[in-house]
Amino acid sequence: MEVDQEVHDRAQLEIQSVINKVAAAQLNHPMLEIETALERQLRAAGHWPQPRPWLRAVAMELADGRVYIVTKHAWADPHGH
């Protein structure tokens, strides 16, 4: 099965946007609250399911005050911020 690169890139941009929004809204919140917010926002954006270990890893990074970057492409695009 061939992946449409444009569709893949758009999905990565949308996921990065969700992560950025959750990071800003959940600043200094516990990891479990961030994980719940990520799941809720990813579902709302149509990007669910995601692997639970990945979701927890992202939530942990955000809870520790770090930026999570999905891909270099998603981070570089001004619409992904």
Dump pLDDT digits (tens) for 25-62: 999 999 999 999 999 999 999 999 999 999 999 999 99
In angstroms, the CA 42 to CA 4 distance is 21
pTM of the model: 0.85
Q: Tell me, what's the pLDDT at 7?
A: 92
Measure Cα distances from 48 to 28, 68, 76, 78 in Å.
Answer: 25, 18, 23, 23
What confidence category does residue 1 fall into, taking pLDDT thresholds of 50, 70 and 90?
low
What confidence category does residue 73 fall into, taking pLDDT thresholds of 50, 70 and 90?
confident
